[in-house]
Structure 1
């Protein structure tokens, strides 16, 4: 059974040289959490604190909050990149993380070989990825570069390849961050349609976005993450209203009604 359960999950980042004010300030700016001390009296940034989530198949959850609020850290916790410092996180199902697109790719081997490696990282078999090779090649538009080492690719080319791989699979749990960027606008529009199809195939979606239109299109519920904690949870329109105001919430609710009426 596909599921996500976290119980009072916390993620702390230790700062061993706490004497440096500039270091503490820089870390606080990027992580956005509270500064405290752990049981060893080491200064830590509390990036996530007391996260309780219970998601099941069919759930479509948006994450809203300012940059540095903890949305990306939460996605990394659910993907297994971070383990909880305290509490627990139990994620059951094949996870497709669409944010750290370079994870599981080797710069010294070809694009074709990286398609296989990245697919294995995402829980697929070599045979499954070989069947999808032509589709990924067509989508990525990389042509002869697929036979060349990944180190010869630009950042945008690497994103094209990674997006082609991740959007070709059948995920049970999809963790999506809209801010993947690094490709031209025309290709991103093409990728967006493919990402929407990927969402439809997934069992559980957790989606971090600053686009209320995209949240309304893909999510029925949402979480407002603020300074590493869940400040509010509920219907996506209600959470957006609490975060951005009544006008934004009303627009999301109207879009949801239109989408549901058209189904």
Structure 2
């Protein structure tokens, strides 16, 4: 199928590059590769990008709107952070100089918080997509992933946010610690909820509870599926205890991949937090559409 994009939406993270051929608000095609920012040398970004989109380009230059770690200092071009409180798309995206004549490449800036120190790249675009579809929405947006973000939203601005390394801790503990011998692949929802309650009420017990997963395997033959769910519950429980000022008494939108978004929703709902789940890809595309509107308005 011969596809010529009107413009191209790009989510370029540390580990993955994802692109969508766009016609207005409509996705015509999509592609991805493992050439995330962390796997591409400084001078090789354009080549990695063209590998995926060459067939979508025509003779006339088209807009390419990108978000994520591609705008980091080590990325294709640095897109400096905007400081919160700020709208999630506070400035004109940064134009990448010297690109192939068939494209005009723009990168969405990330957001930074000075006190306490925090940064985000990519999540601001998902927030922008959500607010484009839900203007004047006040509440908290949770963006679960390797580094989960909790963002307070008011008057269409990101007022403050906090990042938790819960996902990375889970990956390290389940694959590189002594717990790797005890963790399975399935899921036990009751075990998840029990462990969640343990560290939500007593987060200081986390380190001891973690080793208990190994001990239960050795002494009681605890199932790997149960251990996996308990590990997740312990870590997310500690995160919810620390992020309580964000979600307590607030409505919460969870933007993430289907599986992890449902896990966070199942953790929040018993605490009385009204939760809405949204797909991260859909919100990313919606945010990139909003960013392109900025570009066209300034052209």
TM-score normalised over the length of structure 1:
0.34
Structure label with greater radius of gyration: 2
TM-score by length of 2: 0.31
